[in-house]
Structure 1
Amino acid sequence: MGGDGRPAIEVERLTAGYGSTKILHGVDLTAAPGEFIAILGSSGCGKTTLLRTIAGFQKAFSGSIRLFGKDVAGLPPEKRGVAMVFQSYALWPHMTVLGNMGYGLRLRGVERGEIRRRVGDLLAMLNLSGLEDRKVTDLSGGQRQRVALGRALAIEPSLLLLDEPLSNLDAKVRLQLRYEIKALQNRLGFAAIHVTHDREEAMTMADRVVIMDQGRIAQMGTPEEVYDRPASPFVATFLGAENRIEFDVLPQTGGGVGLQAVGMARPAPWSGEHGAAPAAGAVTAFFREEAASLTAADATPGQDCPAAAIVLPGVVATRAYPGGHYRYGVDAGGRHLSVKDAGYHELGAPVGVCLPLSRLHIFPAATQ
């Protein structure tokens, strides 16, 4: 929050869409001054509609939008005091770098010498010094996106909206700009909302991540919170926990519960150090491929596998080498599980899938 305690953005019960089609279904979102929020979701989930509605390019059906305490729902984009960077750059092709970056300042009546000074400072920050008189059509994709970012920052916004600005760039330039945008945001102190479908981009840049599904916020929290403690099966799978195993949670003699799945000789006792035990009944557990490892087919927990773990016997069905490790597809008790492992295993070899209980994301089967 700023010194007066007002959030940079307050969105309450926002609904919006196109024509008679509703895309956003009662979205609530708050961002503090200087906070970087990433909105993450698959195509069609409503993330760009949310951004465009905050910016004023899309009209809200209902709900409220306040920027630094001011209700802006009825204002056009140019009256909202926000800047936006688009996926397509949206630069003027007939203008130079200086002309594009200073365009917003010129509209605001800023004197020519001051425009050149401000743009010169931004060129230095964006590693574009010396290019101010070059046509933007003569620049690389990464340079053009830096110009688009500079144009947005030239008006010294308190809020910057970024609509997948890195998705058209190659991997190396994307990584560079990811770092540069975050460094600029830390240095200049503006609040930012960044829409992306790239999970790593969202997790590495944002103070908080908002995960959207079908026009609603499925979960919001720090990168660690949403990754380590997904609130639903959708969030778990969206953030990479695509392996799933059906378990029965069974009461154990002497107290406690154990997890029993097809292929397990006996239930794995739930350890209190992994948090509250799941309730008895049918559950579904999700886990990421890097959470598991491969061991001997007859291994048991505590032998080449942590004591608080399960071992599922299986057979190697597929193998790929993406670099640094192997990615295996294992048929285990009628399931196909994906596992990362450093060791080499032949196709058809019997193996055990070692899975620590602490790496499972468990939900009642009724939530599927």
Structure 2
Amino acid sequence: MDSSVSAAIDIDHLQVSYGSQRVLQGVSLSVAPGEFIAILGSSGCGKTTLLRTIAGFQKASEGAIRLFGRDVVNTPPEKRGMAMMFQSYALWPHMTVLGNVGYGLRLRGVPKDEIRRRVDAVLKMLNLSGLAERKVTQLSGGQRQRVALGRALAIEPEILLLDEPLSNLDAKVRIQLRSEIKALQNRLGFTAIHVTHDREEAMTMADRIVVMDAGRIAQVGTPKDVYDHPNSPFVASFMGAENTLSLDVRPSGSGVEVRAHDSIMASYGGDVPVGSVTAYFRDDVASLDDPQARVDGSIILPGKIAQRTYPGGHYRYVVAIGDRHFTVTDERYHEVDRQVGLRLPLASLHLFPNAPSTGGTHA
């Protein structure tokens, strides 16, 4: 952002405490108009507290929240010009679909015929036409969440906040609604902040991902950037690179020599930290090779197949290397107990120094 005025949401050193416990540790984030942001993190990281504080349901201890340049940190929720979708739907069970979707409009004193017109337009957009007079208790989970989305969109908010709204739905409906919400956001142009613990949901819906850890922002970037270039062991692990391997990286000629388990070496000309490092990697970067093979730019660790399953389309193998086990997918059939090499391309590993390195990086 060039300035806070050009931002739909500008959060500046926001702190929130519950009693003596600080939950948000000085969070700063700018969100552009029309941008879709996903806040990703495990339970207790502060992501829902951040969303509730933006909405006005939680009071900030310090810092500012500016919406289109206007500081709203002390403004009540109903005067912030935003709508919120909840995990629990939060619908009125005694009301019809029409009553629920038009609820916010009624609170704002919109005339009855105008409410009906806007609700019908929203229901058509959400494929709920014909259900206006139905009680929400007669609807499926997916339909109820569409009603909750319709209630949020009916007031034509500039900003929509989503608090894990899809987590109670079954997998098929969840994937369908992800696509529908994203399509509506593109069509209507509202700014969205979506809190989720589901990595795939964040990756498929967001323009940028905000990974949170212990009340702080650990990394912000496009889904591809955060997935391919995590900036810390925490982010690497959270984005699925949960396998770890200790390596020793030493300068060698124009590149580096990488040692694993004291015996396996690979020459590599990429930019990597030098010294004792830990490699983080996802299952899908590993492959099976001959245990004696030598491949430029890859480490090959000898081991044996401990387990084989067939989930469909490929085989999934568990490879035992010493007392460690790694999962690998491969289209070929291999016998259990077969000696194999676990092949790891260095370019696909996320390498982090185990201690401050005096050697820096080697290009």
Q: Taking structure 1 as the reference length, what is the TM-score of the superposition? A: 0.93
Match of 1:318 among 298, 307, 315: 307
Change (3 A) 1:170 1:176: same
- For residues 15 and 323 of structure 1, the distance between their equivalents in structure 2, rounded to whole angstroms, comes to 48
- For residues 317 and 16 of structure 2, the distance between their equivalents in structure 1, rounded to whole angstroms, comes to 43
Answer whether contact 1:87 1:164 (CA < 8 A) is retained: yes
Answer whether contact 2:5 2:68 (CA < 8 A) is retained: no
Structure 1: gaps spanning 5 or more residues: 302-306
Paired residue secondary structure (1:144):
helix
1:263 Cα deviation from its structure 2 partner: 6.0
- For residues 157 and 3 of structure 2, the distance between their equivalents in structure 1, rounded to whole angstroms, comes to 17
What do the CA deviations read for 1:95-126 (whole angstroms, capped 9, x no partner)?
00000000000111111111111111111110
Amino acid of the residue matched to residue 158 of structure 1?
E
1:278 correspondence with 2:267: no
Paired residue secondary structure (1:60):
coil
1:5 Cα deviation from its structure 2 partner: 5.2
1:319 Cα deviation from its structure 2 partner: 2.7
1:333 Cα deviation from its structure 2 partner: 4.1
- For residues 273 and 343 of structure 2, the distance between their equivalents in structure 1, rounded to whole angstroms, comes to 20
What do the CA deviations read for 1:189-248 (whole angstroms, capped 9, x no partner)?
000000001100000000000001111111000001100000000100111111111111
The residue number in structure 1 matching 2:283 is: 289
The share of aligned pairs that are identical, in percent, is 68
What do the CA deviations read for 1:27-73 (whole angstroms, capped 9, x no partner)?
11110010000000111111000000000111111111111111111
Paired residue secondary structure (1:366):
coil
The residue number in structure 2 matching 1:179 is: 179
The residue number in structure 1 matching 2:360 is: none
Change (3 A) 1:363 1:141: same
The residue number in structure 2 matching 1:133 is: 133
Answer whether contact 1:136 1:144 (CA < 8 A) is retained: yes
The residue number in structure 2 matching 1:298 is: 292
- For residues 179 and 255 of structure 1, the distance between their equivalents in structure 2, rounded to whole angstroms, comes to 48
What do the CA deviations read for 1:152-181 (whole angstroms, capped 9, x no partner)?
000000000000000000000001100000
1:87 Cα deviation from its structure 2 partner: 0.1
The residue number in structure 1 matching 2:106 is: 106
What do the CA deviations read for 1:74-112 (whole angstroms, capped 9, x no partner)?
111101111000000000001000000000001111111
Change (3 A) 1:63 1:3: closer
1:223-238 to 2 correspondences below 5 Å: 223-238=223-238
Amino acid of the residue matched to residue 256 of structure 2?
V
The residue number in structure 1 matching 2:266 is: 268
1:332 correspondence with 2:350: no
The residue number in structure 2 matching 1:149 is: 149
Answer whether contact 1:106 1:115 (CA < 8 A) is retained: yes
1:221 correspondence with 2:221: yes
Change (3 A) 1:107 1:8: same
The residue number in structure 2 matching 1:164 is: 164
Change (3 A) 1:84 1:224: same
- For residues 339 and 320 of structure 2, the distance between their equivalents in structure 1, rounded to whole angstroms, comes to 10
Paired residue secondary structure (1:42):
coil
Amino acid of the residue matched to residue 152 of structure 2?
A
Paired residue secondary structure (2:355):
helix
1:4 Cα deviation from its structure 2 partner: 10
RMSD after superposition = 1.7
- For residues 46 and 233 of structure 2, the distance between their equivalents in structure 1, rounded to whole angstroms, comes to 19
* Greater alpha carbon shift after TM alignment, 193-202 vs 338-347: 338-347
